[in-house]
Amino acid sequence: MAKVLIIGAGGVGHVVTHKCAQVPEVFSEIVLASRTEEKCKRIAAQLQRPIKTAQIDADDVKQTTALIEREKPAIVINVALPYQDLAIMDACLATGVHYVDTANYEPIDTPKFEYSWQWAYQERFRKRGIMALLGSGFDPGATNVYTAYLAKHHFDTIEELDIIDCNAGDHGQPFATNFNPEINIREITAPGHYWENGTWQTTDPLSVSRLYDFPEGIGPKKIFLLYHEELESIVKNFTTLRRARFWMTFSENYLTHLRVLGNVGMTSIKPIIYQGQEIVPLQFLKALLPDPSSLGPLTKGRTCIGCLVRGHKDGKEKLAFVYNICDHEACYREVGAQAISYTTGVPAMIGAMLMLTGKWQGAGVFNMEEFDPDPFMEAMTRHGLPWSVITPIAPMA
């Protein structure tokens, strides 16, 4: 039915390509392009159906524009890095092609992410009659839709939101990140922010924690407050929210490694001169750490990511937790990737599918919670990420 261009052949690109290949009735042709074409070819060789591959530097708008003009896709799924978002959006504008990504723009030399840069494309996308769907991964992505789903079906008003991301899996490595190490470490070492009573509150990095009892046998885990990009769009789109926070689990081992690496300057993005050459310590660290896509065969255990909402229904206070549990080994059996790449890649495919089938439509730049959550929730169950809603006993402090 439609041709898709996927940009980025890392852990997430691997899953997006596999999942698009499973839905030929929507994604009738697939082109996978990345900086290192060899990685695209390796993914292509695992598939049951032929796809095209290409080499591209997506920082270069002209190259992406030329590739789009040559291949004529109906949609571009950007699963390269956040640094490429604006350049790829520019190429979509130049060619009149729809756009989907999983992470908001971040300038390479400033550890700061926010939607302002991409929201600024609103008028240009609207006038061009094309759609950009921002943050169609799990968090952001499924978490935005979970919030919209609870608001639509379980509450009259939602007042408190806690997005909770638990990776209870183990890859057996002394220290590794589950997605791009540079992006991951930039996010985790930044100050925490959360929304309370109409303003952003700031906390020192990883300084606020709680114990949360996860369902289905995962049990109690320590969670840490972080800033995460979906909070910015969710509080804008759900104005009754009095408080909105994001939490993630980390093991003591992970935090100890991170502290030591931070103390010796290895997580810094400030360039230094080493033996006459300029290097960025964090980029050098990334080169030393395991490639997240290599963790697939090693990772065991489950993830649980969900949204805990407190609000009112029929005049009564209510609490609900909507979540998905994903098993690392089951993901590896299905597509040859661990659950973090899987939980990001499946929603990226679903976002593109809903756009191509006309279920989510619009001209302009959109966040996930702006659309009807029902077709997305239905597709999540059908494509490998089933979810449940439970009523927890107590709200989070």
Q: Which residues pair with 116 in a beta bridge?
A: none
Q: CB–CB of 348/194 below 8 Å?
A: no
Least distance between ligand NDP and beta carbon 391 (Å): 26
- Region of 65-73, 132-140, 209-217, 353-361 interacting with ligand NDP (CB under 6 A): 132-140
Q: What is the dihedral of CA 138, 250, 177, 327, to 10 degrees?
A: -50
Is the peptide bond prior to 140 cis by the omega test (within 30 degrees of 0)? yes
For residues 159 and 395, what is the distance between their CA atoms, to the nearest angstrom? 12
Q: Which is nearer to ligand NDP, 103 or 319 (CB)?
A: 103
Instruction: Restricting to residues 262-321, name those near ligand NDP by CB under 6 A.
Output: 292-293
Q: Which is nearer to ligand NDP, 53 or 194 (CB)?
A: 53
Contact with ligand NDP (CB under 6 A) among 73, 82, 281, 296: 82
- Residue of this chain nearest to ligand NDP (CB atom): 10
Regarding 59 and contact with ligand NDP (CB under 6 A), the answer is yes
Shortest distance in whole angstroms from residue 178 CB to ligand NDP: 7
Give me the amino acid identity at 52: K
Please list, in sequence order, all residues whose beta carbon lies within 8 angstroms of the beta carbon of residue 181, skipping any fewer than 6 positions away: 282, 285, 286, 289, 292
Cα distances (Å, whole numbers) of residue 288 to 42, 136, 174, 335: 22, 29, 12, 26
Closest alpha carbon to 167 in 309, 10, 328, 336: 328
| Site for ligand NDP, residues 29 to 48, rule: CB under 6 A | 34-36, 39
Minimum distance from residue 44 beta carbon to ligand NDP (Å):
13
The residue within the footprint of ligand NDP, chosen from 21, 98, 118, 137 (CB under 6 A), is: 137
Least distance (Å) from ligand NDP to the CB of residue 161? 17
Give the residue, chosen from 80, 145, 352, 368, that forms a contact with ligand NDP under the rule CB under 6 A: 80
221 binds ligand NDP (CB under 6 A): no
In 3-state terms the chain splits into helix, strand, coil percentages (rounded to 5) of: 40, 30, 35
Q: Is 183 in the site for ligand NDP (CB under 6 A)?
A: yes
Determine which residue in the list 139, 162, 232, 369 makes contact with ligand NDP, applying CB under 6 A: 139
- Considering only residues 17, 65, 84, 147, which one is a binding residue for ligand NDP as defined by CB under 6 A? 84
Decide: 154 and 309 in contact? Cβ < 8 Å: yes
Nearest by Cα to 293 from 35, 84, 9: 9
167 interacts with ligand NDP by CB under 6 A: no
Measured between alpha carbons, how far is 183 from 305 in angstroms, rounded to an integer? 19
Candidates 168, 183, 104; CA nearest to 323 is: 168
Footprint of ligand NDP on this chain (CB under 6 A)? 7-13, 34-36, 39, 56-59, 79-82, 84, 102-103, 135, 137-141, 179-180, 183, 292-293, 340, 344
